[in-house]
A and B are shown apart, each in its own frame.
Chain A
Amino acid sequence: MGKTITEKILAWHAGRDEVRPGELLGARVDLALANDITAPLAIEAFRAMGAERVFDPSRVALVPDHFAPARDIPAAENCALIRDFARQQGLEHYYEVGRVGIEHVLLPEEGLVLPGELIVGADSHTCTYGALGAFSTGMGSTDLAMAMALGEVWLRVPESMRLRYEGELKPWIGGKDLILHTIGSIGVDGARYRAMEFCGPAIDALSMEGRFTMANMAVEAGAKNGIFAVDAKTRAWLEKRARRDYRAFESDPDAVYEEEITFDVGALEPQVAFPHLPSNVRPISQAGEVKIDQVVIGSCTNGWLEDMETAAGILEGREVHPHVRTIIFPGTPRIKLEMIRRGWMETFIRAGAVVSTPTCGPCLGGHMGVIAAGERAVSTTNRNFVGRMGHKEGEVYLAGPAVAAASAVTGRLTDPREVMGG
Chain B
Amino acid sequence: MDRDMILRGKAHVFGDDVNTDYIISGKYKFKTLDMDELACHCMEDIDPDFYARVQPGDFIVAGGNFGCGSSREQAPLVIKHAGVSAVLARSFARIFFRNAINKGLPAVECDTAGIEAGDELEVDLGAGRVRNLTRGSEAEITPLPAVMMDILAEGGLTAYLRKHGGFEL
Residues of chain A at the chain B interface (Cβ within 8 Å): 24-26, 37-38, 40-41, 45, 48-50, 66-67, 74-75, 121-124, 126, 138-143, 145-146, 149-150, 152, 154, 156, 188-189, 192-193, 219, 222, 224, 277, 364-366, 383, 385-388, 390, 392
Are A146 and B157 touching (Cβ within 8 A)? Answer: yes
Q: Interface extent on B, as a size class?
A: 35 or more
Nearest CB of chain B from residue A123's CB, rounded to whole Å? 6
Are B32 and A143 touching (Cβ within 8 A)? Answer: no
B113 proximal to A (CB < 8 A) = no
CB contact between B71 and one of A26, A123, A154, A222 (< 8 Å): that residue: A123
Are B158 and A49 touching (Cβ within 8 A)? Answer: yes
Are A386 and B102 touching (Cβ within 8 A)? Answer: no
Instruction: Write out, one digit per residue, whether chain B residues 91-110 have a CB within 8 A of any chain A CB (1) or not (0).
Output: 10111001100110000000
Are A67 and B69 touching (Cβ within 8 A)? Answer: no
CB contact between A140 and one of B17, B102, B162 (< 8 Å): that residue: B102
Are A139 and B71 touching (Cβ within 8 A)? Answer: yes
Q: A26-B167, A50-B161, A74-B31 are in contact. List 18 more A-B contacts (CB 8 A).
A: A45-B158, A50-B162, A66-B30, A74-B32, A121-B71, A124-B71, A141-B72, A142-B73, A143-B98, A188-B65, A188-B68, A189-B17, A192-B65, A222-B93, A385-B19, A385-B22, A387-B45, A392-B25
17 residue pairs of the A-B complex, CB under 8 angstroms, read A38-B73, A41-B73, A49-B162, A66-B30, A122-B71, A138-B71, A150-B166, A192-B91, A222-B68, A364-B70, A365-B26, A365-B27, A386-B21, A386-B45, A387-B27, A388-B21, A392-B45
CB contact between B158 and one of A145, A150, A188, A392 (< 8 Å): that residue: A145
Are B30 and A74 touching (Cβ within 8 A)? Answer: yes
Q: CB within 8 Å of A: which of B60-106?
A: 64-65, 68-73, 91, 93-95, 98-99, 102-103
The chain B residue sitting closest to A77, CB to CB, is B33
A304–B98 alpha-carbon span in the complex (Å): 31
Secondary structure call for the B interface: loop
- Given A364-B26, A365-B27: A154 and B169 interface contact (C-beta under 8 Å): yes
Are B21 and A192 touching (Cβ within 8 A)? Answer: no
Are A146 and B161 touching (Cβ within 8 A)? Answer: yes
CB contact between B26 and one of A24, A74, A75, A387 (< 8 Å): that residue: A387
Residues of A within 8 A of B70 (CB): 124, 364
Residues of A within 8 A of B167 (CB): 26, 146, 150, 152, 154
CB contact between A142 and one of B17, B93, B99 (< 8 Å): that residue: B99
Are B65 and A222 touching (Cβ within 8 A)? Answer: yes
Nearest CB of chain B from residue A69's CB, rounded to whole Å? 15
A386–B21 alpha-carbon span in the complex (Å): 7
Counting from the closest, the 3 A-B pairs by CB-CB distance are A140-B99, A189-B65, A124-B71
